[in-house]
């Protein structure tokens, strides 16, 4: 399945969840619901994948935890905040760089219309 098709499915599921549940839940709830919906669609999804970093001689196994990784190629970061700040976009960009991936989706569910909370992020250096 191509990245655009997977991304479209992710967006469709996010829209459906937002229509049903609304903007008032914690991020963990939206993560659980989206995970469920994507699994039900037959996609391979990993939650809270641990990404290590090495700093000088120190190795930290669980330095980063993206919310969802779909089909080993699209990272999803979920927020439920009044406003997205530049650091939220940078966080997803960092995950993409560490995983050497091209495609990410930042979803903010704390919006009136879900289309306002959908942001695709690209890493041109990823595979």
Q: What is the pLDDT of residues 5-14, one digit of tens each?
A: 999 999 999 9
| Contact between residue 95 and residue 51 where contact means Cβ atoms under 8 Å apart | yes
Per-residue pLDDT reduced to its tens digit, 38-66: 999 999 999 999 999 889 999 999 989 99
DSSP assignment of 25-52 equals S-HHHHHHHHHHHHHHTT--EEES--EE
Q: Please, is 56 exposed, middle or buried when counting C-beta atoms within 10 Å of its C-beta (0-12, 13-18, 19+)?
A: exposed
pTM reported for the whole predicted model: 0.92
- Cα distance between residue 112 and residue 30, in whole Å: 15
All domains of the chain, ordered by start, with CATH?
Answer: 3-122 (3.40.1350)
Per-residue pLDDT reduced to its tens digit, 104-122: 999 999 999 999 999 999 9
């Amino acid at each position: 399945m191509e990245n655009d098709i997977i991304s479209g499915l992710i967006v469709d599921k996010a829209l459906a969840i937002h229509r049903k549940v609304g903007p008032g839940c914690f991020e963990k709830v939206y993560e659980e619901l989206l995970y469920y919906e994507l699994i039900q669609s037959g996609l391979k999804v990993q939650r809270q994948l641990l990404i290590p970093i090495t700093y000088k001689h120190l190795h930290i196994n669980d330095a980063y935890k993206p919310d969802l990784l779909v089909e080993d190629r699209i990272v999803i970061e979920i927020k439920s905040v009044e406003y997205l700040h530049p650091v939220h976009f940078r966080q997803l960009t960092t995950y993409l760089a560490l995983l050497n991936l091209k495609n990410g989706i930042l979803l903010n569910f704390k919006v009136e219309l879900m289309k306002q909370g959908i942001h695709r992020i690209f890493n041109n250096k990823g595979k």
